[in-house]
Amino acid sequence: MSKKMHVKLNVNGEDHEFLAEPRELLIYALREKLNITGPHVGCETSHCGACTVTMNGKSVKSCTVFVAQANGSEVTTVEGLGNPDALHVLQENFKEHHGLQCGFCTPGMITRAAKLLEENPNPTEEEVRFGIAGNLCRCTGYQNIVKSILSAASEMNAAKEAAQ
Amino acid sequence: MIPAAFEYYRPTDMAGVIALLQEHGDDARVIAGGHSLIPMMKLRMADVPHLIDLQAIKGLNGIAITDGTVTIGAMVTQHEIINSAEMEKAAPIMKEAALQIADPQVRYMGTVGGNVANGDPGNDMPGLMQCLNAQFHLTGPDGDRTVDARDFYEAAYMTDREDEEVLTAVSFAAPVGGFAYEKQKRKIGDYATAAAAVQISKEGGKVAAASIAMTNLSDTPVWSDSAGAALVGTACDDAAVKAAVTAMLGDIDPTEDNRGPVAFKRHAAGIVLGRAITRAWSRA
Ligand SMILES: Cc1cc2nc3c(=O)[nH]c(=O)nc-3n(C[C@H](O)[C@H](O)[C@H](O)COP(=O)(O)OP(=O)(O)OC[C@H]3O[C@@H](n4cnc5c(N)ncnc54)[C@H](O)[C@@H]3O)c2cc1C
Ligand code: FES
Ligand code: FES
């Protein structure tokens, strides 16, 4: 066992400090140290994307980042997007369009979709499919996830226009 | 899933990295995007007691295009390649290939340097770099040196890089003419069953120059000099494409795995090369 290091993370706008071994994966630091259990673990080969969070403005698979590397970062998880009383547009649309069943892929899917829409507010269906290709889902067949994201995009754009 | 313990370092200059590599020898490794190394550590296929993170080193970032030379810092990510308008203009094959690598999350983290230094024949950029006749820039205890991408790969995970050297950048002359990166894969994020990188330039309706490299069809990427030569001077018609494919098949040496038996991979290699040549020619 190596020495524990002092880790600082800002998660969903809140500062956290804790001790961890450098080899601890970011996903486990979030889930086990900070009790942020939205991001999930679905594989050990970095394919499924259930662990997706936003780190310093990038969609990352938090199972493939050591907490040592993440030290000093800003992280957003699904919990930081919205909560049951004030859902994020994406969360609302996943609910509306039946974009989830078991819900296990959903936190990663929604976090990834949020970043995708930030970078490309008007994606085509093909761009959505390609943009979430790092996120696997066992239940939905993706169709309704795509619908949810496209519908969230138009709502977000309409809201932007209305605000202008 | 659970990697073995290691000591972690985040030096802020290259001298610090090299000093650590010298001190720990075989027991130390640099980590860039981590998206080949961490998966191997999680499976305990890589044992790295001393992990040196390159993220805080200045001078490994950025894409520079000057006097027709494209220089890409080792820590430039695949995401940055895809989103660089200058890169798309100077070497559009880079974006075409990068979009076929991995998936969005991996591309935010995975670096050009890690992709070419890794030494896995499955990686797409090594063949691409050979097609572009790129140079790899290395820094070590004895200073800097440059190696041709075409001379860098020795065997699977064996490259010309010494343990105490760091790859700092890759560079190549901005390619001219048409281009294509054609990859056959089972699904998103899969390494190629077969892939081909092609650059072709045209003069008076004939092929003036052609460069062809193949991915994941040997224990290293394969730059096929003879396949390129088979196209030069032709009008890139069916017979010329066939000759190039035949020449390429003489240079590859695929092995059987769950992507298919050798005969299938050779077939797939011929198909992807034919498609890549046709697309590159149409753009030349
Ligand atoms: C799900 C998934 C799918 C993928 N699909 C593809 C694909 O289709 N095609 C493809 O090409 N790749 C693919 N990859 C690999 C991905 O592109 C990696 O990110 C890349 O191979 C390595 O880059 P890295 O920056 O992550 O390097 P790391 O993982 O950090 O390092 C890889 C190796 O290179 C060494 N290294 C890194 N940088 C340097 C340097 N500057 N100098 C010296 N040595 C260095 C490290 O010590 C290590 O041994 C995939 C990865 C995943 C997880
Ligand atoms: S847990 Fe599957 S990609 Fe992270
Ligand atoms: S909803 Fe079950 S895995 Fe996607």
How many angstroms separate the alpha carbon of residue A138 from the centre of ligand 3?
5
Round to whole Å and give the CA distance between A99 and B193: 33
Write out the CATH class of domain B180-283.
alpha beta
Among candidates B10, B39, B79 on the partner chain, residue whose Cβ is nearest the Cβ of A46: B39
Q: Which chain B residue has the Cα nearest residue A50? A: B105
Residue A86 is classified by DSSP as B
Asked if the Cβ–Cβ distance from B1 to A132 is below 8 Å, we say no
H or E element: which one contains A18? Answer: strand A14-20
> Which CA distances in Å does A118 have to A13, B43, B166, B240, B253?
18, 34, 35, 46, 44
pLDDT, averaged across chain B? 98
Given CB atoms, is B35 within the 8 Å cutoff of chain A?
yes
Half-sphere exposure in the Cβ direction for B284 (13 Å, CA): 23
> Which CA distances in Å does B203 have to B178, B208, B233?
12, 6, 9
Contact (Cβ atoms closer than 8 angstroms) between residue A62 and residue A68:
no
Chain B nearest CA to A148, separation (Å): 19
> Which residues' Cβ are closer than 6 Å to ligand 3?
A 100-106, 137-140
Round to whole Å and give the CA distance between A161 and A140: 32
Q: CB pairs below 8 Å between A and B: how many?
A: 88
For a mutational test of ligand 1's pocket, the pick from B1, B36, B145, i.e. the residue with the most ligand atoms closer than 8 A to its C-beta, is B36
Asked whether the predicted pLDDT for residue B253 surpasses 80, the reply is yes
Q: Where are the beta strands (DSSP E) in chain B?
A: 7-9, 28-31, 50-53, 63-66, 69-73, 135-140, 143-148, 153-155, 158-159, 166-173, 178-184, 194-203, 206-215, 222-223
Choose the mutation target among A8, A64, A135 for the interface with B, i.e. most B CBs under 10 Å.
A64
Instruction: Give pLDDT tens digits for B17-68.
Output: 999 999 999 999 999 999 999 999 999 999 999 999 999 999 999 999 999 9
Domain boundaries, chain B: 7-53, 63-173, 180-283
Round to whole Å and give the CA distance between B165 and B155: 18
- The mean pLDDT value for A62-72 works out to 98
Angle between helices A106-119 and A143-163 (to 10 degrees): 40
Residue B257, strand partner residues: B260
Q: Report percent pLDDT > 90 for chain A.
A: 98
pLDDT (0 to 100) of residue B129? 98
Round to whole Å and give the CA distance between B25 and B16: 14
Instruction: Give pLDDT tens digits for B214-249.
Output: 999 999 999 999 999 999 999 999 999 999 999 999
Instruction: Give pLDDT tens digits for A103-161.
Output: 999 999 999 999 999 999 999 999 999 999 999 999 999 999 999 999 999 999 999 99
Asked if the Cβ–Cβ distance from A116 to B55 is below 8 Å, we say no
Q: Chain B contacts of A63, Cβ < 8 Å?
A: 1, 42
Residues 66-85 of chain A whose Cβ lies under 8 A from any Cβ of chain B:
66, 68-69, 71
Structure tokens at B107: 């591309």
Asked whether the predicted pLDDT for residue A164 surpasses 90, the reply is no
pLDDT, averaged across chain A? 97
Residues A21/A23/A24/A26 CA torsion (nearest 10 deg): 130
Asked whether the predicted pLDDT for residue A1 surpasses 80, the reply is no
First to last CA, chain B: 47
Q: What is the 3-state secondary structure (H, E, C) of B17-38?
A: HHHHHHHHHHHEEEECCCCCHH
Q: Is the pTM of this model over 0.90?
A: yes
Fold of domain B63-173 = 3.30.465
Round to whole Å and give the CA distance between B214 and B175: 17
Q: Which chain A residue has the Cα nearest residue B8? A: A22
- The mean pLDDT value for A73-79 works out to 98
Write out the CATH class of domain B7-53.
alpha beta
